[in-house]
Amino acid sequence: MPTFSSVLSDQLRRDPGRPLVTFYDHATGERVELSVTTYANWVAKAAGLLVEEGDLERGMRLRVDLPPHWLSPVFLGAAWTVGLRVTAQDDCDAVVCGPDTLDRWAGEARSLPVFACSLLPMGARFSDPVPAGVHDVGIEVWSQPDAFFAADPPGGADLATDDLTQDQLLETAAAGSLLTDGGRLLSVANPASPPGTATFIEPLARSGSLVLVRNPDADRLPEVYASERATARA
């Protein structure tokens, strides 16, 4: 049965340099492109962070409370590499949040690990110190190794989301209809939300790529579609 790690490893062998996630923020002008190799490196570091700083183990639940951003698929991949279930419920064992929801989750830092992402360019730290007990991803992720090897590797039957196992998620993605094999999908959906997960996992499973736009300007989307050579839109 396929797992996230096996699919990503296959993509690394086939075409490690191709773009996998291209991110735009129309409000700030930011553009970030992650190749398969760069994405895998970020996933490894994020997985190490979840395990080493959060003491998370296979079967536990991670809430990824992030807006549309390139770090969203990074933490999805990190969770599935460890064998965590990405949950949409507030009842979780750890949370990854952004600046807009930091205040909401900071009060939970005494009872569960809270990893906060500034969402600043290049994955930078917060400009001001985060509340006590909260992990600033922009500081702590850089000390993690560039490779991650799970002590208890997940299998295809491990839950990836509240509803789907890893093999169900990947098999559904491989048979999906958002794009053709090798296609490039333009999306404004949030990969960290249940409806938006397919916008990332399907391009991964079908050797394609995601062009993700945050704070989209409707007038600029056709230009992005053309310049990024997108083949489908969701």
Task: Assign 116 a pLDDT band (cuts: 50, 70, 90).
Answer: very high
* Residue 201: HSE in the Cβ half-sphere, 13 Å Cα cutoff: 30
Whether the CB-CB separation of 155 and 81 falls below 8 Å is answered with no
Nearest to 69 by CA among 124, 31, 12: 31
Please count the structural domains in the chain. 1
Condensed to tens digits (0 to 9), the pLDDT of residues 163-179 reads 999 999 999 999 998 99
CB-based contacts of 33, cutoff 8 Å, min separation 6: 19, 21, 22, 23
Under the banding of pLDDT at 50, 70 and 90, the label for residue 42 is very high
CATH code at position 52: 3.40.50.12780
At 227 the pLDDT is 98
Q: pLDDT tens digits, residue range 196-213?
A: 999 999 999 999 999 999
Q: What pLDDT is attached to residue 214?
A: 98
What token pair was written down for 183? 């296609």
pLDDT-based confidence at residue 70 (cuts at 50, 70, 90): very high
Half-sphere exposure at residue 205, Cβ-oriented, CA atoms within 13 angstroms: 23
Q: What is the pLDDT at residue 190?
A: 98
Closest CA to 62 of 154, 172, 126: 154
The tens digit of pLDDT for each residue in 4-36 reads 999 999 999 999 999 999 999 999 999 999 999
Band (pLDDT 50/70/90 cuts) for residue 77 is very high
Q: Average per-residue pLDDT in the chain?
A: 97
**Residue 45, SS3 per DSSP:** helix
Q: What domain range is 99 assigned to? A: 4-233
What is the reported pLDDT for 1? 84
C-alpha distances (whole Å) from 208 to each of 4, 30, 35, 170 are 15, 22, 11, 14
CA distances from 106 to 96, 103, 109, 138, 174 (A): 11, 5, 5, 16, 38
Residue 223: partners with Cβ closer than 8 Å, 6 or more residues away = none
Q: Where are the alpha helices (DSSP H) in 53-207?
A: 71-82, 102-106, 137-140, 166-174, 198-205
User: How much is the pLDDT for 36?
Assistant: 98
Q: What percent of the chain has a predicted confidence (pLDDT) above 90?
A: 99
In eight-state DSSP terms, residue 154 is -
196 with 173: CB under 8 angstroms? no
